[in-house]
Chain A
Amino acid sequence: MPKVDGAPKVTGQAVYADDIDLPRMLHCKILRAQLPHARILSVDASAARRIPGVKAVITGQDLPIRFGILPVTQDEAALEGEKVRYVGDPVAAVAAVDEETAAAACDAIKVEYQELKPVMSIEEALKEAADEPIQAYTKRSDNVHRMVSYEFGDLAAGFARADHVREDVFFFQGSTHLPMEQHSAVATYAGGRVTLWSSTQVVHYVHRALSKVLELPMSRIRVIGAAHGGGFGGKTDPFAHEIVVAKLAMLTGRPVKCTLTREEVFYAHRGRHPVLMWVKTGVTRDGRITAMHFRSALDGGAYGSYGAASIFYTGTLQTVTYDIPAYKFEGARVFTNKAPCGPKRGHGTPQPRFAVELHLEKIAREIGLEPVELKRRNFVKPFSRAVNWLRITSCGLEECTEKVLAASGYADRQRQPGRGLGFAISAYMSGAGTAIYWNDMPHSEVQLKVDRTGVTLFCGAMDIGQGSDSVLAQIAAEELGLEPKDIHLVTADTDTTPIDLGSYSSRVTFMAGNAAVEAARRMRALLVAAVAQKMGVADLEEIDVADGRIGEFSFEEASVLAEEKFGALASAGSYKPPRIGGPFKGSGVGPSPAYSYSACVVEVTADARSGIVTVERVWIAHDIGRAINPLLVEGQVEGSVYMALGEALMEEQVYRQGLHKWPSMLEYKSPTFLETPEMHTFLVETDDPEGPYGAKEAGQGPLLPVIPAVNLAVQDALGIWIDEIPVTPEKVLRALEAKAKGEPPRFGPKVFPSVPYPEPIRVEPPDPGDLRVGDELEAAFPSSPRVR
């Protein structure tokens, strides 16, 4: 079923933020830091202010209040007044009659800096800071941002029980989201109220940040999500330009627009963290995991963003993929003078997924087991509880694996040099189980109105191209016996729609979907009751709701009957996930009401002469729970595969002399259609008890297995291990050279740095059969420190 917003998008009718052109609108440009690390000594904007056409210039003094997506890291300023922490950090902003004038004014602003030594790597960040740490609030002398350490179950006993133990080190390079649409925001200020249209994934959190920094109550701010040209996690933070245009609109009384250049999008970033990983696993002779110890060190860039959560994500989901009876996780994030990292599709989990899949394959070969077999022996079981208390409901790992193995002919593949297949699996969350700001309110709400205009559905959910509007329309239509086109949608507008927390963590179909089911069922009950009364039927079950009819009446007639009987017809539904986290501090990151599962086989050709790797075919199976819209699910799966291949083979967020090396779409290499291989997508339905109609997530999970599967296919083709991504031709040649010299046939990091991890929090594992959640679970552990 095609998307409800497909036609407006392809015919140019959809209004993106940059399309908005209001009378008397001013254009804003932001002056950004040109040094990676420096104290600001002075900002002189007098020359800029004198340029004709310049209406306002603001600097750090005008917006001193700090914000940030997570309550624990309110470390960003819309304009930095004291110091800059990466090339691209915003310093001043201009509103002028056109973009050229605004740009000329930015160029005329003189900033005097005192240069500080930049920190450009994880290793450097772990050392004492040369001049001063990048962020003072950590109260540390190095550049460590945060560290966590947990031990679930008895690790020492687990390793003691193992017949074989192996350690490996891996590196996962950072990458950016590269959405087609650059970030853009337009603000107006009228009647004491700010209205902001923005290309954002998180209307609600932008609303909050504006309120905090502008010191206006939320009731005096309206945020509207404009038509969206792609986010992938890159528009999930509140951003400087959103606050700046609002402030400039307040100062000038005129509408103000700011559309970032592509280069600025690279600086806004919040992309994939580069992560160094060390993993040690013990297995029995027959390949059962007895214990795993996993360490990560994340290069966070200059600010917190989602980083405090990202650390957890590099550790927590290992246990919902494989059954690990004893698990220790130590994670750290450091600050560096680079654009801040954050959540990119898969948020913190593709990195460990990559490491663990390669690591288990190495173990399997060492103990003489077929790697797929070893992995299968350790798959988690449906309806079980992991050692770190995450609750697994439906799980289609086995079915997914069978599908891709059979379709690709993996087991009987012809071994030939230069051609190879790789297999990997993954799990991902269907929405974070805890809200970013702790509260007991719903995570998503839907309202329905039925009247002479038909059915209108109101929901704060932001369709970022993933199809959430289509899913909402489909759900309401399903419950009311209508077609999706019959449902009018009003979404992502803080004035007119009830809340949805945002399009992140694969939560919208699951949570807004559940809210929509509830609202639509309530509306249906009203319509059915009115029709039953008219028909003189006592048993409401006898009234059919289908094909545009309710009982004997058309939908329109039924709605008149209901309005006569009940007055204005409105209904509402909401969803709040059950509290799932275990009885320990820090259990709030990782729990999800349900996990999706994927399995993937990748086929490559790898040329030993040039080192060039070409992906020929991809088979991917995804446990979606239930596909509410199979076309959209396949689109998400294939989009994930495509994005993963870019990370596996090309994309690199690299810095040279303190600068992003190539903040341009031509130089930052990301694949095009031409590099996109043949894909075979299989949807596996496991009918999850918690999801709407049994649905789970599709937007992120399918990315995860593709990357390790590429590396494993290269290993299959050439007999070399590329223990880091991207797999560039040069790395392949270096590994082949090592192999030819009789050295280990490998390219990758050699050591994991020494990180001052704290003593672990030791957690008693649950009974794997204990599926209790919410009040029931809490009642069982009354005094436990549960931190969300």
Chain B
Amino acid sequence: MLRLPRLRYLRPATAAEAAARLAELGTRAMFVAGGTDLFPNLKRRQFEPDTLVQVPPLKGLRRADGHFEIGATVTLAEAAAHAGLRAALPGFAEAAGLVSSPPLRNAGTLGGNLCVDTRCNYYNMTYEWRKSIGFCLKKDGDICLVAPSSPRCWAVSSSDTAPAAMVLGASVVLAGPDGERELPVAALYRDDGIEYLAKQPHEVVTAIRLPAPKGLLTGYVKLRRRGSIDFPLAGAAVALTLDGPIVTGCRVALAAVASHPLEVPEAGAFLVGKRLTDETISAAAELAAKPARPLDNADLTHFWRKKMVRVIVERAIRRAATPSVT
């Protein structure tokens, strides 16, 4: 069986202390929250820290003046089941409820989901397998096996909640050893399969703030092979405001088609001032699909996945506009 390496495990009492520990230990240490992403990765030796620093309990899911404030260790299951969140921001709650499988959602946290490692099927394999095929840039090697001529890593951002948060204009609260700062979720990511987070490695995500203005319509549609467990092959998050039949605001962001959650402002902008018709929805979806660049490093063919982006964006727009329609 694959076993975890031997590790030192620290349980600081506060986020600031956790950040201080990590700042002190540097790359030898990593944060762990629910561990649902990190533990399998450690077993396959995707990371080789000698210390794990537990993210302390940062619970609480409350609504305050027009936004939701959710603690980073609130589980995906808790977020998905929260009645207020489901009513106000169904797109976000559903994205949380579509991550992996029920047992993993009971352990996996929102903070962990925002920070989830990028994926690639040349990378999420055991040490022995990677040794056989040849190590790649992301761990132990010096070339990218998917795009050998490229100097960078194209591993795929696979968070379902990140695009759902982005279309809301959400932000995260980060705690460092010397205090807190707030950062838009859109600014949390970098277009790089390896250094995919723009925050300081020692900063703890302590909370996520989701604006929930009245009348905002949201939807998330996820494409995956098996509805009970798989990572997204593509995901589309949409947030819409309408004035009667006319779109007054629209944001579209995609999961799993790039190394970061990908917002496509053109698609949203296109719809503003228009009615939602088959034609406008389809045209917006086509715009949304343009920058999606799936590669041959996930399930099924990238040719097919690229085609499907349009389909799921259309479905997500419809789902946001008519919340009761599935």
A728 within 8 A of B: yes
Contacts A650-B225, A671-B226, A672-B229; is A263 near B129 (CB within 8 Å)?
yes
Contacting residue for B226 out of A262, A663, A674, CB 8 A: A674
Report yes or no: B3 in contact with A100, Cβ–Cβ below 8 A: yes
- CB neighbours (8 Å) of A728 from chain B are 300, 304
Contacting residue for A729 out of B125, B131, B229, B304, CB 8 A: B304
Report yes or no: B133 in contact with A672, Cβ–Cβ below 8 A: no
Report yes or no: A34 in contact with B226, Cβ–Cβ below 8 A: no
Chain B binding surface, main DSSP class = loop
Measured between alpha carbons, how far is A100 from B126 in the docked complex, in Å? 14
- CB neighbours (8 Å) of A672 from chain B are 226, 228-229
Report yes or no: A730 in contact with B299, Cβ–Cβ below 8 A: no
CB distance from A241 to the nearest CB of B (A): 13
Chain B residue with the shortest CB-CB distance to A664: B125
Chain A residue with the shortest CB-CB distance to B226: A672
Chain B residue with the shortest CB-CB distance to A675: B226
Chain B residue with the shortest CB-CB distance to A728: B300
Most interface-central of B230, B303, B304, B307 (chain A CB within 10 A): B304
A524 within 8 A of B: no
Report yes or no: A729 in contact with B129, Cβ–Cβ below 8 A: no
A653 within 8 A of B: no
Contacts A34-B132, A664-B125; is A733 near B300 (CB within 8 Å)?
no
Report yes or no: B226 in contact with A667, Cβ–Cβ below 8 A: no
A314 within 8 A of B: no
B182 within 8 A of A: no
Contacts A667-B124, A667-B299; is A609 near B1 (CB within 8 Å)?
no
Report yes or no: B121 in contact with A662, Cβ–Cβ below 8 A: yes
Contacting residue for A673 out of B124, B228, B300, B304, CB 8 A: B228
Mark interface residues in B1-35 (1 if CB within 8 Å of A CB, else 0). Answer: 11101100000000000000000000000000000
Measured between alpha carbons, how far is A210 from B131 in the docked complex, in Å? 32
CB distance from B242 to the nearest CB of A (A): 26
A259 within 8 A of B: yes
CB distance from A668 to the nearest CB of B (A): 10
A99 within 8 A of B: yes
Chain A residues numbered 622-681 whose CB sits less than 8 Å from any CB in chain B: 650, 657, 659, 661-664, 666-667, 669, 671-675
A182 within 8 A of B: yes
- CB neighbours (8 Å) of B228 from chain A are 672-675
How many B residues touch A, CB cutoff 8 Å?
A: 29
A114 within 8 A of B: no
Mark interface residues in B287-313 (1 if CB within 8 Å of A CB, else 0). Answer: 000000000000111011001100100
CB distance from A171 to the nearest CB of B (A): 17
A611 within 8 A of B: yes
B142 within 8 A of A: no
- CB neighbours (8 Å) of B299 from chain A are 667, 669
- CB neighbours (8 Å) of B229 from chain A are 666, 672
B60 within 8 A of A: no
Report yes or no: B132 in contact with A87, Cβ–Cβ below 8 A: yes
B128 within 8 A of A: yes
B227 within 8 A of A: yes
Report yes or no: A733 in contact with B307, Cβ–Cβ below 8 A: yes
Report yes or no: A182 in contact with B1, Cβ–Cβ below 8 A: yes
Contacts A99-B3, A663-B129; is A730 near B225 (CB within 8 Å)?
no
Contacts A609-B311, A674-B226, A733-B307; is A261 near B126 (CB within 8 Å)?
yes
B interface residues with partner A (beta carbon < 8 Å): 1-3, 5-6, 121, 124-126, 128-129, 131-133, 145, 225-230, 299-301, 303-304, 307-308, 311
A interface residues with partner B (beta carbon < 8 Å): 18, 32, 34-35, 87, 99-100, 182, 259, 261-263, 609-611, 650, 657, 659, 661-664, 666-667, 669, 671-675, 728-730, 733
